[in-house]
Structure formats: C-alpha cells, structure tokens
C-alpha cells in the first residue's frame, strides 16, 4: 500500500485546496498518472501517482484544505499497469510504419513555474539526433532550460515552434526511427482533433464555483487555466479584479506618434518573460514595501591591504581568487546578527525572524538580473563563500541556474561598482527586508587625524523596509558593516 501525499507547494506556501480528483476509488492507476489537482493562492499543482496499483481510499475530498505532506489517498498494490497501454494509443499509432516514437516533453521547470516559451530549436524536422543531444531551449520568467533528446532517432515532428508558449506538461516534439517521421505527422492530426470534444464538458474546481457564486460571476466570462480548460479559483479572482484593473487603463496614454523618419530607424522587440518578471517584481516591491535608503562610506584601505598580502597564498591553497565579495558577505553576516530585523520578513501580521543567513548575490546576465542564493552563508569560510559565488556566477551567465538556486534568500548584496556606479539606491528583493548596494572604489581626500590623506573610499547604500526596520536599526547595520570592513580583525574577534 502506497501513500499519496501533498508535494512541496513552493516558497511560503503552506496549504492548498483539493480542486479536482481525476480518479475515483477502485480505478487502476499507472506510475506518474495524474491523480488530482491542488490549488494554492499562487499556483495549481498536479499530483501524480507515486506507484502503480488501484486507488483505494481518498482521504482528502474535493474542496478540502490540506497542508504540505498531508495524506491525500492510498494506492493498493494491484493492476496498475493496465492503464498505461490504454493511455498510449496516440503514441503507438505513429510507429506502425517504422521504429518506436518517443515524445519530447517539457522538463520540470521548477516551483511555481507553470509555463515556458520555446525560444530556439537547435534541430529541424528530419534531422538525426543522438540521445541527450540538445533539441531546443525554453525560456521561463526566471531561467532558461535546455531540452535534451530522450532517445536517439530522427526528429519527426515539432509540435511547439519557436515563440510558442507551452505549459509544464506539454509535448514539444516527436522522435521516431528512420521511417517513423513520415507516419508521425498524419497520426497527430486525429489526436489533436479529438481534444476539443473531450473538453466540451469540464467540471470546474469546487472553490472556483463557490467564489463565482459569491461574486455573481458568470463562468462563461472566466478563462480557465486548469487541466482541460478547467476554471480554477485564481482564474475567478483574476476575472473579479479585471474591471478594477481596467479602470486605470485610460490613464496610461498611448505612445506618442513618431515621425516617419524616426520610425524607420526604430526596432520593436518583445520583452522576454524574464525581463517582464523583473519589471513586475521590482515595481511590486516599490508598491508593497515602505522602502527607504540610508547611506554611508567605507575606507577600503585595510581590506585592500589584507587582500593584496594574502591573495596569492589564498588562491594557491583554495583554488579560487580572493575577492571583495567574501569580505562584504562576512561583514553583512556579522551585522545581521546584531540587527536581526534586517534579516527578517513580514508574513501577514507576523514578523518571521531568520536564524540563518541565505545570502543573495545579484548578478547581471545577458538575459537580465538574477539573484542566486548562497545558502547558510553565516556558516561558511572566506574560501567557501568565494567558491560559491564564483560557481553560481558562472552558472548565472550561462543561464544554467535552477529555480531552487534562486529561492529562499534572506538578504541581498548588489555590486553596481563593477559597472562603475558611484552611488545608487538598490530596490528590495521581496519578501526580503534589506539589500546592500556596493559601489565603485574611488580615491578621495579624507581628513585622517587632522591630516588630509588620499584613501580608497566606497559609498554603501542600505535599502530597507521601514515597516519592519526602524531608522536606528538600519543605520546601526550599515555602521557595523563599515566598522568590520575598515578593521577586518573585528570579524575574527566577533566584535
């Protein structure tokens, strides 16, 4: 007997509502066959069968609210292999004239990511492909995902051309044997034609029906995004907000007319999903947080001298260069211990204090800004921090970061100095309550013990959420960072 439990729902999501059961007690199920659909306040999650067998007791009925890892149902050992062949007639049809056909499906995209855009196909129909050879690249609002060939053969059909938006369970292409390509395309048409007939009568999520009844919304006016066009709770919420969202629209003036001579020299490019998400999240951050920035400056003389003295030995021993980021990470960890609210977040009417530091390090890439997270940075050495930053920075530039590597940060460091920025006000990365902005190191005359001396100085900026961090705490944090950098021995003595 196998338990079916609620999977991980995503960051900060603790419960879900059982929207729809696709199977009933007594039905035979195959491994990974969809059993039910859960609905959270952010995404819908399909729950696959962890084993083949017969669906026994359903513990959580439609409409029930369940927590993470809650028991949903039981699968009894039995005739679970039977549905698998029945579910695959469409796949079997194309191969009547040749070798086995293999579907190329959208790979796992990560928590809370439900769709992607096909950005590039590296192969054309008729091309021979080797197993694990890259077929195409998908672009989500956070990362780029390469799709390898699940088997060797001939690319017989591309179902999602470049620019197509596909969901997390979509079929991208078909790989057949040497003679399968000719048969694959005709066989796909009947399967596609049969789809609308099956979706003519779809039962909506119970929570969606309840909400539509409460708000007096006609189901015909709601676009369903669930399985087979099923209307989910979030679809109803979007429909309910649509009139309110439409009201401000007239205030957004259309783009002013452009002279014909100028128009011919302009280029209009559609924003990538990543850029759209960056724009939306940054604006949401401004609209949600009571954001304020405080500034200070730090004399980098001691850090630069220490780095210059030990950088060769450091690189020889640890195999990585000693940069400034490890010093700033250590200094921030030191300051966060004294001012824990900067490392906290707001959750409704609660403040969640984090007794650990997952340090986000903002990195500019050709695709846009990403923030990989160095987990448990408070327990890492200088060498560990430098290695982690170097490795994640390379993966970020190559577009290889996974969703998990960009989630869970508690504080962020952004270094605009690498681009020559002298002063800026960084924007918070929600739900975090603080972000430190580093800037260019520049020689400036400073008054030192009554004498004017030229010192390498850097402006520091701390943007913080004033709802949770008071001015005293923000200033104290920045002063502690300054003190640790101007006298790195304080980090060793924990002062």
Cβ 94 vs Cβ 184: under 8 Å: yes
Alpha-carbon distance of 369 to 285, in angstroms, equals 15
Catalytic site positions: 466, 470
What is the SS3 assignment for 192?
Answer: helix
Cβ 446 vs Cβ 411: under 8 Å: no
Largest CA distance in the chain: 91
Which of 458, 367, 377 is CA-nearest to residue 412?
377
Cβ-proximal residues to 269 (8 Å cutoff; 6+ apart), any chain: none
Cβ 406 vs Cβ 429: under 8 Å: no
Cβ 101 vs Cβ 174: under 8 Å: yes
Residue 242 is given by DSSP the state H
Instruction: Give me the phi and psi of 327, to 5 degrees please.
Output: -65, -45
Cβ 138 vs Cβ 403: under 8 Å: no
Alpha-carbon distance of 439 to 434, in angstroms, equals 17
Cβ 92 vs Cβ 75: under 8 Å: no
Alpha-carbon distance of 63 to 20, in angstroms, equals 8
- Extract the tokens encoding 450: 């009554």
Instruction: Give me the phi and psi of 373, to 5 degrees please.
Output: -110, 130
Cβ-proximal residues to 378 (8 Å cutoff; 6+ apart), any chain: 333, 336, 337, 356, 357
What is the SS3 assignment for 278?
Answer: helix
Q: CA quadruple 425, 409, 37, 137: dihedral positive or negative? A: positive
Taking the CA atoms of the chain, what radius of gyration do you get in angstroms?
27
Alpha-carbon distance of 78 to 121, in angstroms, equals 42
Alpha-carbon distance of 361 to 432, in angstroms, equals 13
> What residues pair up with 157 in beta bridges, in sequence order?
174
Cβ-proximal residues to 260 (8 Å cutoff; 6+ apart), any chain: none
Look-up of token digits 């290889």: 400
């Amino acid at each position: 007997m196998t338990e079916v439990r609620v999977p991980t729902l995503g960051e900060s999501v603790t419960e879900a509502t059982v929207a729809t059961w696709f199977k009933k007690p007594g039905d035979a199920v195959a491994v990974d066959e969809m059993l039910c659909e859960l609905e959270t306040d952010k995404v819908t999650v399909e729950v696959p069968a962890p084993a083949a067998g017969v669906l026994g007791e359903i513990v959580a009925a439609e409409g029930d609210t369940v927590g993470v890892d809650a028991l949903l149902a039981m699968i009894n050992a039995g005739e679970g292999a039977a549905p698998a062949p029945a579910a695959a007639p469409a796949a079997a049809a194309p191969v009547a004239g040749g070798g086995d056909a293999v579907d190329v499906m959208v790979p796992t995209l990560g928590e809370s990511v439900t769709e992607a855009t096909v950005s590039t196909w590296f192969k054309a129909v008729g091309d021979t492909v080797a197993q694990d050879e890259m077929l195409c690249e998908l672009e989500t609002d956070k990362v780029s995902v390469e799709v390898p060939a699940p088997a060797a053969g001939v690319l017989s059909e591309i179902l999602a051309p470049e620019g197509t938006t596909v969901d997390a369970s979509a079929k991208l292409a078909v790989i057949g044997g040497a003679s399968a390509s000719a048969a694959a395309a005709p066989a796909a048409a009947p399967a596609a034609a049969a789809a609308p007939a099956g979706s003519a009568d779809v039962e909506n999520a119970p929570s969606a029906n309840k909400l539509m009844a409460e708000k007096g919304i006609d189901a015909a006016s709601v676009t369903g995004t669930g399985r087979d066009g099923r209307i989910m709770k979030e679809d109803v919420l979007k429909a309910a907000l649509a009139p309110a969202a439409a009201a401000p629209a007239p205030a957004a003036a259309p783009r002013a007319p452009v002279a014909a001579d100028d128009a011919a020299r302009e280029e209009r490019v559609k924003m990538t999903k990543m850029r759209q998400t960056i724009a939306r999240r940054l604006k949401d951050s401004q609209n949600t947080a009571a954001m304020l920035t405080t500034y200070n400056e730090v004399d980098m003389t001691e850090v630069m001298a220490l780095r210059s003295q030990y950088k060769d030995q450091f690189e020889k021993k640890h195999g990585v260069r000693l940069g400034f980021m490890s010093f700033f990470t250590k200094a921030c960890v030191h300051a966060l211990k004294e001012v824990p609210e900067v490392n906290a977040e707001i959750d409704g009417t609660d403040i969640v204090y984090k007794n650990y530091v997952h340090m986000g390090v903002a990195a500019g890439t050709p695709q846009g800004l990403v923030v990989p997270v160095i987990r448990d940075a408070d327990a890492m050495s200088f060498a560990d921090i430098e290695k982690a930053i170097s490795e994640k920075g390379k993966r970020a530039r190559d577009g290889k970061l996974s969703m998990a590597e960009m989630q869970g940060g508690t504080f962020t460091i952004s270094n605009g100095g690498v681009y020559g920025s002298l002063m800026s006000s960084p924007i918070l990365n929600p739900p975090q309550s603080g972000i430190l902005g580093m800037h260019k190191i520049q020689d400036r005359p400073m008054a030192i013990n009554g004498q004017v001396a030229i010192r390498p100085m850097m402006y520091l900026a701390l943007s913080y959420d004033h709802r949770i961090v008071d001015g005293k705490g923000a200033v104290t944090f920045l002063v502690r960072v300054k003190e640790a950098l101007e006298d790195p021995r304080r980090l060793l003595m924990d002062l």
